[in-house]
Copies of this chain bind each other. A is one copy, B any other.
Amino acid sequence: MYSEGMSASDTSERLIESTRELLWERGYVGTSPKAILERAGAGQGSMYHHFKGKPDLALAAIRRTAEEMRATAAGVLDGPGTPYERIEAYLRRERDVLRGCPVGRLTMDPDVIASDELRAPVDETLDWLRERLAGIVEEGKERGQFASGLDGESIAATIVATVQGGYVLARASGSPTAFDVGVRGLLSLLAPRQDQDQDQD
């Protein structure tokens, strides 16, 4: 990452990490520089030395969170198993459901949506995820695991939406159960027919 063998300053690093946590917990509008500085154990000057201001720091934090989410998803989606099994693994992977999605939640932040720069990493990440899932669905169709009438991109959007909406249901009810139930419903709709021809893995 740091081609000259340098490392980012510890303070800069702590500022980004604190911002990531607070953006996840309270969103952009609900996160103040003061709260970030307190959590990072830094003073005002440090933040304005390393970053141009709150939007600039938030951008660094959002980019890192988005990257991390892509890496996590890729870890599951590139794993072993049939297309259905990989989708199931993605849907059932361990999540801190009640905390919500650190990327998706930003779409409800007016200031993030108002800024093309802040919105871009969010958009790119969810878009990447949909394309990745669409490819897996198409692969499943080729293998005969999914009905040939299904459209990869549509199903991919449904999968990502179910996850994002699952967070909403869980947070509304104060329990992760609703998330799991929604996922179960989707999997029951996606489940390969027992009596269908399928390639062996």
Which residues of A does B touch, CB under 8 Å?
25-27, 29-30, 100, 104-105, 107-111, 113, 119, 122-123, 126-127, 130, 149-151, 153-169, 171-174, 178-179, 181-186, 188-190
Given contacts A110-B25, A166-B161, A168-B104, contact A154 B188 (CB under 8 A): yes
Instruction: Choose among A109, A161, A184 the residue with the greatest number of B CB atoms under 10 Å from its CB.
Output: A161
Q: Check if A110 sits within 8 Å of B27, measured CB to CB.
A: yes
Count of this chain's copies in the oligomeric assembly: 2
B-chain residues with CB within 8 Å of residue A29 when the two chains form the complex: 26-27, 29-30
Q: Check if A154 sits within 8 Å of B126, measured CB to CB.
A: no
Listed A/B pairs (20) with beta-carbon separation below 8 Å: A27-B29, A107-B171, A107-B172, A108-B109, A113-B174, A126-B169, A127-B173, A150-B185, A150-B189, A153-B181, A153-B185, A154-B181, A155-B185, A156-B185, A157-B178, A160-B169, A161-B178, A162-B162, A164-B165, A164-B169
